[in-house]
């Protein structure tokens, strides 16, 4: 009886790990995390716009499944794919920014946070400072957004989502799915702002997909 119970206890975590590495569960879990980030970003949420629980789960899942190999680049640096990816990202960012700024200027809304993504992110910091009555908190949010969130998302979306999907779906399918899921998550960043800047948030989502594919490459 004791041996049977021990077998069940050891089988349960193994089954969970297998489930979390299937395409269906990857998408379900990631969409659930996206919803969580949306909720944590709402202005009425106690610690918004800090998406603390979301980020914590981003760290836990890939480390639990060991889907991110920290030492994989010590053996050999794939110079060509890295250069192609970085050049592609730079070309896309330059072209996108040029076209985006052109339309903003053409319609006379450059600098308007309801249309201009850069100004919308400034509004996020300003409204955060107003909510907590502290410029320091806004500065902490900036550091959290620039340093902690990207590292956690790299572990989760590039290590867990892309890395696991690539084993079964191939590069392009895995890159497109992981990049799209990450891009949708960026919509949450600006939910804190009142009124909600729909256009900058949508632009942020659409502009992130090619960057994600380039990083995966």
Token pair listed for 12: 């349960």
pLDDT number for residue 87: 82
Q: What is the pLDDT of residue 74?
A: 46
| CA–CA gap between residue 206 and residue 211 (Å, rounded) | 10
Centroid of chain to Cα 15 = 27
In sequence order, the 6+-apart residues with CB closer than 8 A to the CB of 173 are: 165
**Cis amide leading into 109 (omega within 30):** no
**Domain residue extents for the chain:** 2-216
Q: What is the pLDDT along the chain (217 residues), one digit of tens a residue?
A: 544 445 445 556 778 888 888 999 999 999 999 999 999 999 999 999 999 999 999 999 999 998 865 444 445 556 666 677 778 878 888 898 999 999 999 999 999 999 999 999 999 999 999 999 999 999 999 999 889 999 999 999 999 999 999 988 888 999 999 999 999 999 888 999 999 999 999 999 999 998 888 877 6
Please tell me whether residue 6 adopts helix, strand or coil conformation.
helix
Tokens of 174: 């895995």
Answering whether pTM is above 0.85, one says: no
């Amino acid at each position: 009886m004791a041996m049977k119970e021990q077998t069940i206890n050891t089988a349960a975590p193994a089954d969970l790990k297998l489930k979390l590495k299937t395409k269906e569960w990857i998408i379900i879990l990631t969409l659930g995390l996206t919803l969580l980030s949306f909720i944590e970003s709402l202005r009425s949420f106690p610690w918004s716009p800090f998406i603390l629980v979301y980020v914590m789960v981003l760290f836990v899942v890939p480390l639990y499944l060991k889907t991110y190999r920290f030492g994989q680049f010590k053996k050999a640096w794939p110079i060509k794919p890295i250069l192609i990816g970085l050049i592609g990202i730079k070309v896309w960012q330059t072209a996108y920014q040029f076209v985006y700024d052109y339309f903003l200027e053409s319609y006379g809304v450059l600098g308007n946070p309801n249309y201009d993504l850069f100004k919308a992110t400034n509004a996020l910091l300003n409204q955060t400072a107003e909510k907590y009555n502290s410029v320091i908190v806004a500065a902490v949010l900036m550091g959290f957004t620039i340093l902690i969130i990207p590292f956690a998302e790299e572990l989760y979306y590039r290590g867990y989502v892309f890395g696991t999907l690539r084993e079964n779906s191939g590069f392009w399918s895995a890159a497109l799915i992981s990049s799209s899921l990450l891009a949708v998550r960026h919509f949450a960043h600006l939910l804190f702002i009142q009124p909600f800047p729909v256009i900058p948030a949508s632009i942020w989502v659409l502009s992130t997909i090619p960057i994600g594919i380039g990083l995966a490459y």
